[in-house]
Amino acid sequence: MDKFTVLSGTAVPMFRQDIDTGAMSPTGKNAAAKTDPKVLFCEERFEDDGKTEKPDFILNQPRYRQSRIIVAGKNFGCGSSRESAVWALNSFGIRCAIAPSFGPIFWENCFQNGFLPVQLPEEKVEAIARLVETAPDPRMTVDLETCQITLPDGTIQPFTLIAERRTALLEGLDELGELMHCAADCDAFEAEDRKIRPWFYNGRFATA
């Protein structure tokens, strides 16, 4: 999994609530979702032929074509549990979403795929979306090392993330990687526990 440290790039304002995983990765498009950037919001981005762009859709506008950050409304990533929604975002080049709240399964899937979800109060997210819309240059920088966002006008917006989640993204660790990362701690715990409960490691409970 790719590490997430500092992400700089264009932000796209999609400040509407309940953007669901089915919109990000529609049914029938999932097979290509890992590699094809056209999958993301394809039913909103393209006509029925799957090729002709709808000029009114925001990601088709020249200002936002190279977006790397999405600023969304509450409950971003709701709906089905499809992990391909995160794959579709990553394949397009978007690796961070800023929103007041996230669908719980989507939230978990983000951390398994090197994608950073930033949760901020709704009024702050709305203000960021408006700033992105009106700024001459809609570029922002999201720094996970310092947990700070540099907005288009140069102001700094801090954010928080659970330490374990932050470390996993910084080091590019999925669930298995996190377990391997903690292997020494697990071994130390087992060694100490053997002294306290030796009976547990005998017979059918034995692990070695």
Q: What is the pLDDT of residues 48-90, one digit of tens each?
A: 998 999 999 999 999 999 999 999 999 999 998 889 999 999 9
8-33 mean pLDDT:
85
pLDDT at 31 over 80: no
Q: Read off the pLDDT of residues 106-137 as tens digits, 9 standing for 90 and up.
A: 999 999 999 999 999 999 999 999 999 999 99
Higher pLDDT, 120 or 207: 120
Q: Read off the pLDDT of residues 133-172 as tens digits, 9 standing for 90 and up.
A: 999 999 999 999 999 999 999 999 999 999 999 999 999 9
Q: Side chain identity at 47, as an amino acid letter?
A: E
pLDDT of 176 reads 46
Q: Read off the pLDDT of residues 170-190 as tens digits, 9 standing for 90 and up.
A: 999 865 454 454 545 555 666
Instruction: Output the DSSP codes for the chain.
Output: ----SEEEEEEEEE--S--BHHHHS-TT-GGGTTT-GGGTTHHHHB-TTSSSB-TTSGGGSGGGTTEEEEEE-SSBTBSS--THHHHHHHHHT--EEEES-B-HHHHHHHHTTT-EEEE--HHHHHHHHHHHHHSSS-EEEEETTTTEEE-TTS-EEE----HHHHHHHHHT--HHHHHHHTHHHHHHHHHHHHHH-GGGGSGGG---
Residue in this structure with the two tokens 């800023």, named with its chain if needed? 98
Q: What residues form DSSP beta bridges with 142?
A: 7, 149
Q: How many CB atoms neighbour CB 43 within 10 A?
A: 16
Q: What is the set of domains in the chain, with CATH numbers?
A: 6-162 (3.20.19.10), 174-208 (no CATH)
Sign of CA dihedral 90, 95, 100, 104: positive
Token pair in block for residue 59 = 């990601």
pLDDT at 201 over 90: no
